[in-house]
Amino acid sequence: MDSRACIDWLRKKNLLDTCKTYSTYLKGVFKDCLKAKNESILIIGDTGYDRKRAAAMLAGSYYFAAKKLGLHPRLFFQVPKLRGDLADKSIVDAINYLGERSILLLALSNRLGSLRGITKSYRHLCRQRNMRFATTPSLGHIETRDFKDLIRTINIDYPEIQRTHRKLKAIIEKGTDLHVRTKAGTDLHMKLDVANIQSADGNYTKPGSGGNLPAGEVYFPPRKKSVNGKVIVDGSSRNRYSTIIIKNPITLIIKNGDLIDIQGKEEARLLEETLLWAERNSKYPWGIRKVCEFGIGLNPKAKLIGSTIIDEKALGTAHIALGSNNWFGGSIFAMTHLDQVFRNPRITVDGKILEI
């Protein structure tokens, strides 16, 4: 669907007025995150699912926010795509048409879909063409009625949160050892890979730069065999099917960077089932159970709602992930990346408490 068809679809689903209302709160994405001026802007969303239309609503809200700022966006929808699906031809053509220094915004229920060989990935294309981008995937788990929670986490003071990220990142980059504990029982040690400390602060102003929105996370790939201890997942857990809010905590036992045991009830069963499925179907099964990421949530407006893209950013949480990290400085290749969020971490770097 092109812009006119997307707007007609939003109107038929009684979502158009909501998009126009919430667009006011997204102007900061264009003004502060992207510093958009006269570039071509392509916004891609999808139609979502019954009672779960967050992807379409966010894409539509972006479109009207850009319009209010006098910019020139184009809006495209497709049906939701899963791993292995192809993106619609109209989407591929629209992305391929983008020139140097354009802006690409993605709001997706799951994934964008394969770009049919025109490029390795949209990130690769953006770097090649010095395009800026912001992506919000995995929105298909958010109820339409909870859309306001997503908007709240994006409508933040970006200069302030960027200062917070810089301060925290600078401290971690000077360290060697990280230790995290919680009252729930988490007790985890790891070595820092200081060359690859990442800051998801929403600053996507440089040519070729981009990342996820909502912003609000400092994260890194730990040194492979350095991670040891126990994590009690009591926030949310990403599995093959969805992200779930934890009712019965999951205990993860980790030795030399590998997950060696999972304990718990239904939530633990779903995670173990996901790992077994991935190992059976993966080209690189060796990476499926490796701890690939440690992250610290810094977004003061985010709360746990059962959507990883929001949950992992919530201030007062931390998370580990299992699986792939090759796209942010690591060397683990896997078909999955499963974030496991836990609450109220007490983090020390080289024995000193990390003030967050």
- Higher-confidence residue of 253 and 333: namely 253
Run of H or E including 323: strand 317-323
Cα distance between residue 202 and residue 134, in whole Å: 8
Run of H or E including 133: strand 132-136
Query: How many residues appear in the chain?
Result: 356
Confidence at residue 122, expressed as pLDDT on a 0 to 100 scale: 87
C-alpha 309: how far from its chain's center? 4
Report the predicted TM-score, pTM, of the whole model to 2 decimal places: 0.89
- The mean pLDDT value for 248-260 works out to 98
For 8, other C-beta atoms within 10 Å of its C-beta total 12
Among 4.10.830, 3.40.50, 3.30.230, 3.30.70, what is the CATH number of 3-154?
A: 3.40.50
pLDDT of 25 higher than 90 = yes
Cα distance between residue 146 and residue 142, in whole Å: 6
pLDDT of 337 higher than 90 = yes
Cα distance between residue 148 and residue 210, in whole Å: 24
CATH 3.40.50 region(s) of the chain?
3-154
